[in-house]
Amino acid sequence: MWMAHSRSPYGARRLALACFALLLVALFLLPSQIQGLLQYLDGPVGYVVRIPLEAIASIDAGIADRWEQYVALQGVREENQQLRKEIEWLRGQHSQLRESVAATERLTALLQFKEQALPTMVAAQVIGRDATNRYRAIILNKGESDGIKPDMGVVTPAGVVGRVVKTTGASSVVLLVTDPSNAIAGLIQRTRDEGVVEGTQQGLAQMKYIPLLSTVRDGDRVVTSGLVGDFPRGLVIGTITRIDKQEGALFQSAELMPEVDIGRVEEVLVIQTSYGQSTKAGAGADLLGKPSP
């Protein structure tokens, strides 16, 4: 009797724990259904059970809502990645179109200049630049087979670029107006004084042999004179930025800013019509009746 009486409370506790565990499982698995069933219960038991049930139902609804938001965000993320790829592709297309438009505009300007100026010009593209820094020169994709020869002038619609100094069958080397070994017969438009334009070590240009009595000043434009060399009269070379007048000197000189941005030239025109003898290094002396140095 004593043994049976002692086991009875123990068994009752186990039964109560099992029922409570089953109730919790039911609450977690079927919170909305159990809540609907217990809403009809009255009294303290229904009130006590309803509180945790409502809390669990709220948590379950929150988890479901979060899950739906997560799934929606995953879809938005994939859509954003796809949009980014499309934007990058469109940017690449836009860049290519801008480059094509710019090239078309440059070539159109070259053709218009060619029609208005001289019929004997050959259009060419810049395919290389001197990498040794020994000379300031560019390489063109046209050569002897296109009728290009040494000493021919090279221009753009903006002005003078330089002179051809070497050719092969399919390419040409152009010595730029900023190279010290190049020389072009120039004319100051305002004063009508003549001189010789040469390159400088600083990558600019200078006009030498300007008469001492000349009223040249900053801002005067210098053009080709057309008297010596392979350039017609009136092509812009550059603008005077500084006058150098030394005491006791026989001539003045002036620093020029070239009209053409040499570093950005991509297409040029080669003048095939001859306008006189080549100037090269001694052009200034020949022009002024002085012996070459």
DSSP conformational letter for 133: S
pLDDT above 80 for 104 = no
Mean pLDDT of 237-261: 92
Closest by CA position to 173, among listed 144, 201, 198, 197: 144
Of 146 and 103, which is predicted with more confidence?
146
Domain assignments of the chain as residue spans, ordered by start: 2-66, 121-287
Looking at residue 274, its pLDDT comes to 62
- At 243 the three-state DSSP class reads strand
Closest by CA position to 211, among listed 221, 224, 196, 226: 196
Against a cut of 0.75, is the pTM above it? no
Mean pLDDT of 3-27: 61
pLDDT in tens, 110-163: 666 656 555 588 999 999 988 666 788 999 999 999 999 999 999 998 899 999
pLDDT in tens, 199-235: 998 889 999 999 999 999 999 999 998 876 678 888 9
Mean pLDDT of 57-70: 66
| Dihedral pair phi/psi, residue 252, rounded to 5° | -95, 165
Domain 121-287 has CATH 1.10.10.10: no
Looking at residue 164, its pLDDT comes to 95
CA 186 to mean position of chain CA atoms? 35
Closest by CA position to 129, among listed 178, 84, 86, 94: 178
Looking at residue 278, its pLDDT comes to 42
What proportion of the chain, given as a percentage, has pLDDT over 70? 58
Mean pLDDT of 260-269: 90
